[in-house]
Amino acid sequence: MNKLRISVRTLLLVVLVGTCVAESQNASSSRGVLVFSAKPSPHPSSFLLKSSRGVTYRLSLVPDYDVEKHVVVLGLVLQRPSEREDDMNLLDSTEKLHGYQPYDFAASDFAEGAQKSIYGESRIIDLPKLGMHIRVKVADVHVEPTSAGGSQVLGYQFEELTLEITTQILAEGSSNRPGQ
């Protein structure tokens, strides 16, 4: 009987992780999992979340390819569901930021694992205009070297990236980061 109970719990956990809509943790936060896989996968690469103001957003992982069609960068993108995929990323509120940002995931940055990446395993993205913070934890990452021919520099491509996302709604006038 205990084995059956454990199996049912495991099955429920798998179903909850695979859902495409973020689950409410409490009134001020929600959780979700985003997965990119180079192979066909049933896991979601986007989910919906709701702000304290009742606005619904879509949070997605969007691949960026090199000239040989390797996925070398994955961008975390926050948009309203009604917008086109190429519309503004609300995580880049200024559209003037350059360089490697907390919502960018470069395969080459994970060549030695998430712990040794520039941002480490966890990142916090502050969105005061939207009244929330987004905490991103790299739960699993697999990168592979791309084929280097001739004078090409060895690069890396994503095989899989799993992100655990926690959003925290800020109380009016609050600017404290979660966990602080």
β-bridge pairing 56-65 and 104-106:
unpaired
Per DSSP, the residues of the chain read -HHHHHHHHHHHHHHHHT-SBPEEEETTEEEEEEEEESS--SS-SEEEEE-TTS-EEEEEEEEEE-TT--EEEEEEEEE-TTS-TTSPPTTSTTS---S--TTEEEGGGGTT-GGGSTT-SEEEEEETTTTEEEEEEEEEEEEEEPP--TTPPP-EEEEEEEEEEEEEEPPTT--PPTT-
Report pLDDT for 48: 87
Report pLDDT for 22: 40
Task: Tell me the pLDDT tens digit for each residue of 68-119.
Answer: 899 999 999 999 888 776 678 888 866 666 788 999 999 999 999 999 999 9
Residue 165: partners with Cβ closer than 8 Å, 6 or more residues away: 22, 31, 32, 33, 34, 47, 59, 134, 135, 136, 137
User: Where are the domains positioned within the chain?
Assistant: 2-169
Distance CA 49, CA 59 (A): 7
Over its length of 180 residues, how does the chain's per-residue pLDDT go in tens digits? 444 444 333 333 333 333 333 443 444 677 889 999 998 888 878 888 877 677 888 999 999 998 889 999 999 999 988 877 667 888 886 666 678 899 999 999 999 999 999 999 999 999 888 888 899 999 999 999 987 655 566 789 999 999 999 988 776 555 555 444
